[in-house]
Amino acid sequence: MANKLKSWKKLENLTERTEADILTLFDDANRATRMSYQVGGLFADFSKQRINVDIHKALLNLAEEADLEGWRAKLFAGEPINTTENRAVLHPALRGVGGSEEVKKQVRDMRAHMRKFSAKVRSEQNFNAIVHIGIGGSDLGPRLCADALAALTEPALELRFAENVDGASINDALAGLDPKSTLVIAVSKSFTTQETLMNVTAARDWLIEGVGDKAGAHMIAVSANRDGAEAFGVASDQIFDFWDWVGGRYSLWSAVGLSLQIAYGPDVFDQMLDGAAEMDEHFRDTPLENNLPVMMALTLIWNRNFLGYPSQAIISYARRLRKFPAFLQQLEMESNGKSVARDGGETVPTCPIVWGDEGTNGQHAFFQLLHQGTLGAPVDFIGVLEDAENRPEHHKALLANLFAQSEALMVGKDAKTVRTELEDKGLSEDEIRTLAPHKMFPGNRPSTTIMLDRLDARALGNLIALYEHKVFVASVIWNINAFDQWGVELGKVLAKTILTELGEHNSLDHHDASTAHLIGLARKSITS
């Protein structure tokens, strides 16, 4: 277990002795510079974290004891570090970093196929809309990037998404579109995912109704199960492959991103790949003490395991990154939401709950808890320096709020300051005594600020790859497998059984009383 490492014990001791106030750490005039990192178009400032020099050193020692450098080498070499499935983990190879010669060839061929196909669709102009159907990793990454890339690039085709098995999802995606000019892209690694198959079936029926036997020309599949896609009726030359060494939540960089490449162009998609590759190379080649993803993960470890924070807030002060918290919920919690170590034993507390929204919306919703709640949560603030919306006054206000919130979380407001403010307003002593406790802010609440120079494809690639590698580093230190997801299986299996039972009237005695009652309620609704 991670807590058996010598550095873990040292960090526990340092927790008891660490400075109570982040502000005191700024007695070091070089702190902000020393705790800031720049990779490509991305800047990260960790100086508002409760980490001093001794803690930073001990965290680095912890990473060394956990053999992070060895695990990092295995990742890029393509060794099967996903041990429960005996699979390599090679999403960096999709960006051209790492992997065997065979893998590199597969990636080159895939990228050439994608580029040729997307260029053809864009030049022929037979389609004016794409409906991208997938769920989880087959949806969240493309959906995030579709929003973000629109900051600087006008999509050539309208891009819509259907992910949920709720009929509203596919209805909304198809509403108002003309099947004659719509391309449907079904994305499913296994091509057995219930939600995706139901939505693709509905889309296929819609196409057949609109274009008859030409529907096949409007259907594309992206899958590791070519046989399954062909059996569904997708033509062989309209199936784009990806491989079992690409986890779903890491698959954006593969043909899963085909809809993005068609909508925004092959060059823009390649720029995003280049940005991710830039972060890959930094992570692979940079010593741990100067390594940005390593610092991200070590900060997470410190806040989660030693300061005891159970959650992590992600606040994007960029509307076009508003899907980033949802994307990270899958990336982080599906990867590291584990309670079993690699060897099958117990582990320390692992992934915190990841949550958040866009700024400044969150300020008018949950920032009360962040500032004055009993515990609060560490925050990753994410912003963009360059205004892409041609609204300079709006952009200045946006940045002002971002910077003010991180400062306010740190400095707080003490009793003396509150008392002075209330006295200046002319309140009586009784009124001050009553009101002052409610106006105080504890402060000393940690945050990291990440700024993109501009919201372009390359910086977006930097940002996503940063968090991917952060997840990997944390998993190494926690001694867990970040690349399987057995926890999603049980509910899916039970759902298949219940789906059958909803249309039957047989006994439900094998269910618990609550579930049996709920199925009974649904049966009445379905048959009425």
Q: Residue 147 above 80 pLDDT?
A: yes
pLDDT digit string (tens) for 436-457? 999 999 999 999 999 999 999 9
pLDDT at 19: 59
Q: Does 121 map to a domain?
A: yes
pLDDT at 4: 82
Average pLDDT over residues 351-374: 97
Cβ count near 57 (within 10 Å)? 14
* Averaged pLDDT of the chain: 95
Per the structure, how many domains does the chain have? 3
Q: Residue 52 above 90 pLDDT?
A: yes
- Between 520 and 274, name the one with better pLDDT: 274
pLDDT at 159: 98
493-501 contacts, C-beta under 8 A, 24 or more apart: 495/194, 496/194
Q: Does 83 map to a domain?
A: no
Boundary-marking domain end, from 246, 270, 294: 270
Task: With CA atoms as reference, report the closest residue to 76 among 86, 91, 66.
Answer: 91
Per-residue pLDDT band at 102 (split at 50, 70, 90): very high
pLDDT digit string (tens) for 227-270? 999 999 999 999 999 888 998 899 999 999 999 999 999 999 99
Q: Please list, in sequence order, all residues whose beta carbon lies within 8 angstroms of the beta carbon of residue 22, skipping any fewer than 6 positions away.
A: 48, 49, 50, 410, 443, 444, 446
pLDDT at 225: 92
pLDDT at 490: 84
Average pLDDT over residues 348-355: 97
Q: Does 396 map to a domain?
A: yes
CATH (domain of 234): 3.40.50.10490
Domain match, 303 and 391 both: yes
Domain match, 40 and 135 both: no
pLDDT at 339: 96
pLDDT at 494: 87
CA distance 415 to 510: 60
Owning domain of residue 505: 487-527
- pTM attached to this predicted model: 0.96
CA distance 115 to 521: 51
Residue positions counted in the chain: 528
pLDDT digit string (tens) for 153-184? 999 999 999 999 999 999 999 999 999 999 99
Domain match, 259 and 373 both: no
Domain match, 256 and 339 both: no
| Residues designated as active site | 334, 364, 492
Q: Are 77 and 103 in contact (CB under 8 A)?
A: no
Domain match, 454 and 372 both: yes
